[in-house]
């Protein structure tokens, strides 16, 4: 039997400090989650606001395969708001620990049980699937927890959920708790873990091997405080370490991770498991040597399995074999003498404290091979208009010389740089599908005429290039970097 994935990126994940999504952004993420294969999408909390209801309605009427769910408290007004959005199910949350019942609700346990039963019955009478969740369950009296779930069962709830609201479970306690709950409750039991001590994924896996049938997760582990159990880590740990399947299409993980990162404006840390850019990056000579012989020496799984890719990072510690391996990965053929020359230059740059990006490497290769960097697409004209009370707009004219084609496009943006990059991306959309993965600006110097250094990462399929450009004009630096990246990728 497959473990079900309940994704709460759009509810608990959106509770990440500083994150707020528009309805169309929520819809975009929901479509990607559906495509990824999640079983349930918690689209938000319908009672929260008009905008939130609009987002949940949009998602509910999209006709996705996933069950669409709204968070509700044990209150009729919350359930009515969810019904107005046409969701399939409600995640009905009831505080269960003494701390929450006494200080947050200021009610007795009997009152909590009564309102929970009434809310479950009300939601069921209105045709909803009900998941009854016990908030702060891991600090609750276990007898009360079981009583709450039993009442839920009698009121015809469909599933129950144990929430480790403040992340205090350990893998051992999780096993004990879920063994008890799943032996006493006949409904499917869900697990919802937070990462306050960095144990959310381990605790989720422990719950699953102890009988839980469903896990609550968020993409990239986003969520309140230290976040929730990360979807990509839980499903991969279940699959590769415990041999337990889910419906997730693993090869889409990297792409969906980046969609969420971009729309939430929360970059994925490079060392993030499974989807981080360093998750399959290798620099140490001894590791690269092992990889050349057999990639299993230093990789637990192949990067393509999760849509990520192998990266060989060149620096002053890299050996000739690593360089050759990387050039092969990039499809560049060189002879022994050329290899030695490229290797020497890399060492020199490494000694100057430079990090060898793919772009640098190509410049070196071209220099050694006596080739000019081939400019397949050339920026002919760029106009950007920005100011007070005007939406920034840019127009570009690109030349595709080999094909003698002129590409002209106009685009809006939230700022002038965004407009310019959007116009370039629109113009080349028929030539190549290139995505901007990352954009960073560093100021060099302090005045208004300071040089700015722009660092961009562009992606085409699984290929990623990083380019740095500096200029006193941020728009020029950005567009030059983007143009060079595009030329490297195509």
Contact residues: ligand KIV, CB under 6 A = 12, 93, 133, 135, 163, 165, 192, 194
Q: Which is nearer to ligand KIV, 227 or 276 (CB)?
A: 227
Provide the minimum distance between the beta carbon of 169 and Zn ion in the complex, in angstroms, as a whole number. Answer: 13
Could you say which of Zn ion, ligand KIV, none residue 159 binds, taking C-beta under 5 to 8 angstroms by partner kind? none
What residues make contact with Zn ion under the rule CB under 5 A? Answer: 12
Q: How far is CA 79 from CA 48, 87, 123, 456, in A?
A: 12, 10, 7, 45
Could you say which of ligand KIV, Zn ion, none residue 73 binds, taking C-beta under 5 to 8 angstroms by partner kind? none
Q: Provide the strand spans (E) within 127-282.
A: 129-135, 159-164, 189-193, 214-217, 281-282
Provide the minimum distance between the beta carbon of 7 and Zn ion in the complex, in angstroms, as a whole number. Answer: 12
Tally the C-alpha atoms within 13 A of residue 100's C-alpha that lie toward its C-beta. Answer: 18
- Distance between CA 277 and CA 466 in Å, rounded? 12
Could you say which of Zn ion, ligand KIV, none residue 93 binds, taking C-beta under 5 to 8 angstroms by partner kind? ligand KIV
With b meaning 16 or more CB within 10 Å and e meaning fewer, what string describes 73-97? bbeeebbebbbebebbbbbbbbbbb
- Distance between CA 212 and CA 329 in Å, rounded? 42
Residue 352 has which token pair?
Answer: 């100057």
> Alpha helices, DSSP H only, in 210-335?
231-236, 242, 253-264, 285-293, 320-329
Q: How far is CA 416 from CA 377, 472, 475, in A?
A: 22, 15, 7
Q: Which is nearer to ligand KIV, 57 or 192 (CB)?
A: 192
- Distance between CA 279 and CA 357 in Å, rounded? 17
Could you say which of Zn ion, ligand KIV, none residue 311 binds, taking C-beta under 5 to 8 angstroms by partner kind? none
CA 449, distance to chain mean position in Å, is 36
Provide the minimum distance between the beta carbon of 11 and ligand KIV in the complex, in angstroms, as a whole number. Answer: 8
Could you say which of Zn ion, ligand KIV, none residue 34 binds, taking C-beta under 5 to 8 angstroms by partner kind? none
Q: Which is nearer to Zn ion, 91 or 310 (CB)?
A: 91
SS3 at position 437: strand
SS3 at position 405: strand
SS3 at position 275: coil
- Could you give phi then psi for residue 341, rounded to 5 degrees? -65, -45
Provide the minimum distance between the beta carbon of 194 and ligand KIV in the complex, in angstroms, as a whole number. Answer: 6
Provide the minimum distance between the beta carbon of 190 and ligand KIV in the complex, in angstroms, as a whole number. Answer: 10
Could you say which of Zn ion, ligand KIV, none residue 133 binds, taking C-beta under 5 to 8 angstroms by partner kind? ligand KIV
Provide the minimum distance between the beta carbon of 170 and ligand KIV in the complex, in angstroms, as a whole number. Answer: 17
Q: Which is nearer to Zn ion, 227 or 276 (CB)?
A: 227
Q: Which is nearer to ligand KIV, 137 or 465 (CB)?
A: 137
Q: Which is nearer to Zn ion, 71 or 325 (CB)?
A: 71
Could you say which of Zn ion, ligand KIV, none residue 326 binds, taking C-beta under 5 to 8 angstroms by partner kind? none
Residue 131 has which token pair?
Answer: 């998941």
CA 129, distance to chain mean position in Å, is 28
- Distance between CA 55 and CA 39 in Å, rounded? 19
Could you say which of Zn ion, ligand KIV, none residue 135 binds, taking C-beta under 5 to 8 angstroms by partner kind? ligand KIV
Q: Which is nearer to ligand KIV, 7 or 135 (CB)?
A: 135
Residue 217 has which token pair?
Answer: 């997760």
Element counts in the chain: helices (H) and strands (E):
17, 16
Instruction: Give the residue at shortest CB distance from Zn ion.
Output: 12
Provide the minimum distance between the beta carbon of 51 and ligand KIV in the complex, in angstroms, as a whole number. Answer: 20
Q: How many residues does the chain have?
A: 490
Q: Which is nearer to Zn ion, 220 or 487 (CB)?
A: 220
Provide the minimum distance between the beta carbon of 224 and Zn ion in the complex, in angstroms, as a whole number. Answer: 6
Residue 406 is inside which H or E element, if any?
A: strand 405-412
Burial zone of 367 (CB within 10 Å; 0-12 exposed, 13-18 middle, 19+ buried) = middle
Provide the minimum distance between the beta carbon of 112 and Zn ion in the complex, in angstroms, as a whole number. Answer: 19
Q: Which is nearer to ligand KIV, 133 or 308 (CB)?
A: 133
Which DSSP letter does residue 206 get?
H
Q: Which is nearer to ligand KIV, 194 or 326 (CB)?
A: 194
Provide the minimum distance between the beta carbon of 153 and ligand KIV in the complex, in angstroms, as a whole number. Answer: 19
Q: Which is nearer to Zn ion, 7 or 12 (CB)?
A: 12
Provide the minimum distance between the beta carbon of 93 and ligand KIV in the complex, in angstroms, as a whole number. Answer: 4
């Amino acid at each position: 039997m497959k473990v079900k994935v309940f994704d709460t990126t759009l509810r608990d994940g959106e509770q990440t400090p500083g994150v707020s999504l528009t309805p169309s952004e929520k819809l975009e993420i929901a479509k990607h989650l559906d495509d990824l294969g999640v079983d349930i999408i918690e689209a938000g909390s319908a009672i929260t606001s008009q905008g939130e209801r609009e987002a949940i309605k949009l998602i509910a009427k999209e006709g996705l395969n996933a069950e669409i769910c709204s968070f509700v408290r044990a209150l009729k007004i919350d359930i009515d708001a969810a019904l107005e959005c046409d969701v399939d199910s409600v995640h009905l949350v009831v505080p269960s620990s003494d701390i929450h019942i006494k200080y947050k609700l200021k009610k007795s346990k009997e009152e909590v049980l009564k309102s929970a039963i009434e809310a479950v019955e009300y939601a069921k009478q209105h045709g909803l699937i009900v998941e009854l969740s016990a908030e702060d369950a891991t600090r609750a009296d276990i007898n009360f927890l079981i009583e709450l779930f039993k009442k839920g069962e009698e009121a015809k709830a469909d599933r129950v959920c144990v929430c480790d609201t403040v992340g205090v479970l350990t893998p051992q306690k999780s096993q004990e708790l879920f063994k008890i709950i799943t032996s006493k409750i006949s409904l499917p039991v869900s697990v919802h873990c937070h990462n306050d001590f960095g144990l959310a994924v381990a605790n989720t896996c422990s719950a699953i091997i102890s009988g839980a049938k469903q896990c609550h997760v968020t993409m990239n582990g986003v969520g309140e405080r230290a976040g929730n159990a990360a979807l990509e880590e839980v499903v991969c740990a279940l699959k590769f370490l415990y041999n337990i399947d889910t419906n997730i299409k693993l090869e889409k993980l990297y792409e969906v991770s980046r969609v969420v990162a971009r729309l939430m404006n929360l970059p994925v840390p490079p060392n993030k498991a499974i989807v981080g850019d360093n998750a399959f990056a290798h620099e140490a000579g001894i590791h690269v040597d092992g990889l050349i012989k057999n990639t299993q020496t230093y990789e637990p799984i192949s990067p393509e399995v999760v849509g990520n890719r192998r990266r060989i990072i060149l620096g002053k510690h890299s050996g000739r074999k690593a360089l050759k391996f990387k050039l092969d990965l990039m499809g560049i053929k060189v002879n022994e003498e050329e290899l030695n020359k490229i290797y020497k230059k890399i060492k020199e740059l490494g000694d100057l404290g430079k990090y060898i990006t793919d772009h640098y490497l190509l410049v070196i290769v071209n220099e050694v091979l006596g080739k000019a960097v081939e400019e397949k697409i050339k920026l002919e004209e760029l106009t950007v208009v920005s100011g007070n009370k005007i939406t920034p707009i840019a127009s570009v004219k690109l030349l595709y010389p080999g094909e003698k084609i002129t590409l002209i496009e106009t685009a809006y943006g939230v700022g002038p740089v965004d407009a310019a990059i959007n116009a370039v991306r629109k113009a080349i959309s028929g030539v190549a599908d290139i995505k901007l993965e990352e954009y960073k600006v560093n100021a060099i110097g302090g005045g208004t005429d300071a040089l700015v250094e722009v660092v961009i990462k562009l992606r085409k399929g699984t290929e990623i290039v990083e380019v740095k450009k500096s200029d006193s004009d941020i728009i020029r630096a950005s567009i030059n970097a983007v143009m060079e990246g595009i030329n490297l990728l195509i």
